[in-house]
Amino acid sequence: MSDVKTVSSLGNFSVSLAVKDIQKSRAFYEGLGFSAYHDSADQGWLILTNGSVIIGLFQGMFEGNILTFNPGWGEMAQPIEDFTDVRDIQKDLKTKGYALESEVDETGTGPGSFILKDPDGNTIMFDQHV
């Protein structure tokens, strides 16, 4: 895997929304033209798409909304071969002085995630599934 160089190397982007009632939220976003891509509403989450726009609805899993990057996923959550591993992204950000809320074990491989906050307190998660 390579060093972080461009925004595209951060992985697929989506917004993860903390919702109070997943069925109400689903109906709302489906009315806007979104459709379910990964449907696990019975487990409290689902992923909706509208063209290349992706949102995740999560009930009871976290507080607040999260900007999410998925290294290793292309559009529509399809695995891609050439990507920057989440550990390399984390190392690069730490080298640049970013304070992390949580960290991925840099000695591991495969799935992992870390979280940081922007200057306004917005949560940003890097969540690698592959």
pLDDT of residue 9: 78
Domain residue spans of the chain: 12-60, 65-130
3.50.50.60, 2.60.40.650, 1.20.1530.20, 3.10.180.10: CATH of 12-60: 3.10.180.10
pLDDT of residue 53: 92
Q: What is the mean pLDDT of each run of 10 residues along the chain (130 residues)?
A: 52 95 97 93 94 94 95 83 93 95 96 96 95
Span between the terminal Cα atoms of the chain, in Å: 13
Is the CATH number 3.30.720.110 carried by domain 65-130? yes
Residues 6 or more apart whose CB falls under 8 angstroms from that of 19 comprise 25, 57, 58, 59
Could you tell me which residues are beta bridge partners of residue 127? 113
